[in-house]
Amino acid sequence: MVTPHLARIGYVSALVEPWSRGDLDAHLSTWRRSNARRGITGLLLYEAGSVFQLLEGFPEDVRALYEAIARDGRHRFVAPLIDEPLARRDFGDWSMGYGRVAATDLAALPGLRPFLDPAFRYWHCSPEMAGALVRGFATGPWRRAIG
């Protein structure tokens, strides 16, 4: 039996202002440095002002970062969808991987059909959909799309 000593938190958010690709790249390069120092790994998806982010690491570090992120004034709102112990990291190679998949392409996986609607945003996801997103990037067809 594996005793989980790690944790993961996944949330969706609506940003106050949409970001350009340049904004996002600049933010990611800052956050990756800070995450590497804190042993945080994970995945971020972004589309039209909506975010899905999964944070992995030691439980106290993941919670502290999530709380800082949730207080960040750049969100209009934040909804946590995943909060659980973790036996091993799914995104251990990425201090914050960026999933380069268009939201409408995500609809190909079972459970993610609502993404067929171009108006669907990450903040509409249920906890089950959040789990399907993580699996799609952890083991599924989009792993190679993480940059």
Ligand X SMILES: Cc1cc2nc3c(=O)[nH]c(=O)nc-3n(C[C@H](O)[C@H](O)[C@H](O)COP(=O)(O)O)c2cc1C
**Which chain residues interact with ligand X by CB under 6 A?**
13, 31, 34-35, 51, 53, 65, 68-69, 72, 74-75, 96
CB nearer to ligand X: pick between 9 and 35: 35
Least Å distance, CB 93 to ligand X, is 15
Listed residue (49, 137, 50) closest to 96, CA to CA: 137
- The count of other CB atoms within 10 Å of the CB of residue 2 is 7
Least Å distance, CB 82 to ligand X, is 15
Listed residue (90, 92, 65, 58) closest to 80, CA to CA: 65
Least Å distance, CB 83 to ligand X, is 16
CB nearer to ligand X: pick between 31 and 91: 31
